[in-house]
């Protein structure tokens, strides 16, 4: 009976093209999130108290924020779609740790809709932050690469290349700054020539910035002229 009910509901949705918001369950028109929930998602607006480069909080009088000064980042700037907060962080959590792969279209659409409003030009090359092969086998997909679905459909000529994560690093969350830098040091390899290229690194969440900074360093070693980081969420 349950199998019949499931099949019947699936068939009705296929015929009627019904779709319900995954946040509030309101019926929508072929969208996974309704207009009201979409507009309620939090994102950081530029202000004198926000570092233009890393998005950390700073004093308006500071030219270089303490976060940038202490970490000596190798990227030019971070552009984020949203803040790391409910409910978007829960949707991402469901995708990454509970295999809700059906959320990838929603997240990629939200990601590109916000990022596209903040850039003036497209990069020469895009590099998603790679997972180590062991983690990739367990998860089955790389969430950073999945964020590019919408972008690839609209900008098919932009080159997307793969970096390799050759070091199975520990979680960065509870490590000190020095420990984070040591943990992620030499974790990546890029075999492509990036001479003179404008490169963008894609990540789902940027927290300390150590991971994307190290990958940026490798891009610069391969000749990249400019490296930006585009992320779905920035956690501060």
Nearest to 88 by CA among 41, 45, 144: 41
Q: What's the confidence (pLDDT) of residue 28?
A: 78
Q: What's the confidence (pLDDT) of residue 173?
A: 63
Is the model's pTM score more than 0.85?
Answer: yes
Q: Is 158 exposed, middle or buried (0-12, 13-18, 19+ CB in 10 A)?
A: middle
- Domain spanning 41-234: CATH 1.10.3470: no
Q: What's the confidence (pLDDT) of residue 120?
A: 94
Q: What's the confidence (pLDDT) of residue 10?
A: 43
Sites in the chain below the pLDDT cut of 70? 1-18, 30, 44, 173
| CB of 43 closer than 8 Å to CB of 83 | yes
Give the relative orientation of helices 177-184 and 210-221 as an angle to the nearest 10 degrees: 40
Q: What's the confidence (pLDDT) of residue 12?
A: 45
* β-sheet with 198-206: strand ranges across: 77-83, 226-234, 198-206, 125-128, 159-160
Q: What's the confidence (pLDDT) of residue 5?
A: 44
């Amino acid at each position: 009976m349950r199998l019949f009910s499931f099949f019947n509901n699936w068939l009705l949705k296929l015929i009627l093209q019904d779709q319900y918001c995954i946040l509030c369950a309101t019926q929508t028109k072929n969208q996974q999130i309704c207009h009201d929930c979409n507009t309620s998602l939090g994102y950081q607006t530029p202000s004198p108290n926000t570092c233009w480069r890393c998005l950390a909080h700073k004093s308006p009088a500071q030219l270089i924020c303490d976060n940038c000064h202490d970490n000596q980042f190798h990227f030019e700037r971070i552009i984020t779609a949203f803040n790391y907060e409910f409910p978007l962080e829960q949707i991402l959590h469901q995708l990454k740790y509970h295999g809700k792969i059906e959320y990838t279209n929603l997240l990629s659409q939200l990601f590109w809709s916000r990022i596209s409003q903040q850039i003036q030009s497209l990069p020469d090359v895009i590099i998603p932050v790679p997972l180590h092969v062991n983690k990739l086998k367990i998860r089955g997909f790389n969430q950073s690469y999945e964020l590019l679905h919408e972008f690839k459909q609209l900008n098919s000529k932009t080159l997307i290349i793969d970096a390799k994560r050759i070091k199975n690093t520990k979680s960065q969350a509870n490590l000190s700054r020095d420990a984070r830098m040591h943990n992620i040091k030499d974790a990546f390899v890029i075999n492509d020539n990036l001479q003179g290229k404008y490169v963008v690194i894609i990540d789902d969440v940027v927290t300390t910035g150590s991971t994307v900074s190290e990958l940026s360093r490798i891009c610069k070693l391969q000749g990249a002229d400019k490296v930006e980081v585009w992320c779905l969420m920035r956690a501060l």
